[in-house]
Amino acid sequence: MSLLIQENIALKPYTTLKTGGVARYVLTVTNLAELEEAARFIAEKKLSYLVIGGGSNILVPDEGFAGVVILNQLKGVSYLEETEDEIILEAGAGEVFDEVVSETVQKGYWGLENLSAIPGTVGATPVQNVGAYGVEMSNVIVGVDVYDMKELSVKYFSVEECEFAYRESFFKTDKGKKYFITTVYIRLKKNSTPKIAYADLQKRFLGEEPTLVKVREAIISIRSEKFPDWNVIGTAGSFFKNPVIDEEHADTLKKQFPELPMYEAGMGMFKIPLGYVLDKVCRLKGIRYGNVGLYEQQALVLVNYGDASTEEIKKFAQTIIDVVFRKTKIIITPEVQYIETK
């Protein structure tokens, strides 16, 4: 099989927000040889490129994308280096992340259960160090294989080299952008203690033993109540990042809004649950302008209720950013990546 090259393809169906225009080229990559072909194609045409996995974290311009979109279809799941307590999972970056999580839980391996029901592909999880309910990818990743799209060579990054931070990694930096993640190596445990410290989870296990399967089921249930089904409604999950503010700012807000929850984030900083701010401080939960709104069950989730354009979504998001700033002086930023046309 050689590289599949398509021209002038609508990107809407490839994004969970269901907006955006047409891509000049779409290349579907299923193995390393095709990825090399794709890199050569991009160099030859002198075009920029964009990698799409699940399309759950991008906002494509209405004018479309004038470069090359690479659809990541690098598949394969295997288990390596089995010891008495641990195994290493090797997962292709184009695998659907939640299908991999589901398989590990079925096999009785601990580590990914708190990350159940997250949309997107395996390859996207190290990029923004995806995390939920007290577990981040940085806690379980051993390393990643990447393909250098400029040098046309394969490289391994250890967990330290990935430079993980809260929803950040080396792969988001300018230097890291030329690396295409091809495989992710994850350490799983055969026995472990359930991590159920988050309030939503704790409530589910009052008087009940949290087994591995039950933790996954509880998270799927919590998320299905809070998040809309992205197969049905246009959404990218949490549209904005939970902000981290300094102590002085936190003290001021605590006086203004005594009920506002805050979580220590290290180095004297505090994490603020933006869902709470949007709902209880700004009263924006469920707000809707035309085709765009904030979801009734979780205000952090922006929803495309109909045929919203990307421009409408951007304007709506900017209004939310302005209201939050006026009320709290917190500058919030989108977690969703705004793609440029070129």
Q: Is residue 79 within the footprint of ligand NAP (CB under 6 A)?
A: no
Residue 158 Cβ vs ligand NAP, minimum distance, rounded to whole Å: 21
Classify strands 65-72 and 49-52 as parallel, antiparallel or unpaired. Answer: parallel
How many CB atoms within 10 Å of residue 82?
10
List 263, 289, 325, 338, residue binding ligand NAP (CB under 6 A)? 263
Rounded to an integer, what distance in angstroms lies between the CA atom of residue 162 and that of residue 165? 9
186-205: contacts with ligand NAP (CB under 6 A): 197-200
81 catalytically annotated: no
- Given the DSSP bridges, would you call strands 141-148 and 153-158 parallel, antiparallel or unpaired? antiparallel
Residue 47 falls in which region: left (phi positive, over 0), alpha (psi -120 to 50) or beta: beta
Fill in the amino acid letter for 143.
G
> Among the options 167, 187, 204, 223, which is catalytic?
167
Q: Is 130 in the site for ligand NAP (CB under 6 A)?
A: yes
Q: Does 285 bind ligand NAP (CB under 6 A)?
A: no
- Our answer to whether residue 90 is catalytic in this structure is no
Of 52 and 300, the one with the shorter C-beta distance to ligand NAP is: 300
**Choices 26-34, 61-69, 74-82, 271-279 (CB under 6 A): range interacting with ligand NAP:** 271-279
Selected from 53, 67, 234, 237, the binder of ligand NAP by CB under 6 A is 237
User: Does 275 engage in binding with ligand NAP (CB under 6 A)?
Assistant: yes
CA–CA distance, 106 with 95 (Å, rounded to integer): 17
DSSP 82-114: --SSEEEEEEETTSBHHHHHHHHHHTT-BSSGG
| Three-class DSSP category at 234 | strand
Reduce the DSSP state of residue 47 to 3 states and report it: coil
* Candidate list 121, 128, 182, 235; residue touching ligand NAP; CB under 6 A: 128
CA distance 294 to 317: 10
Count of chain residues binding ligand NAP (CB under 6 A): 20
Applying CB under 6 A, among 65, 110, 133, 240 the residue interacting with ligand NAP is: 133
For the question of residue 167 being annotated catalytic, the response is yes
Q: Which residues bind ligand NAP (CB under 6 A)?
A: 128, 130-133, 167, 197-200, 226, 237-238, 242, 263, 271, 273, 275, 300, 335
Catalytic residues: 167, 238, 335
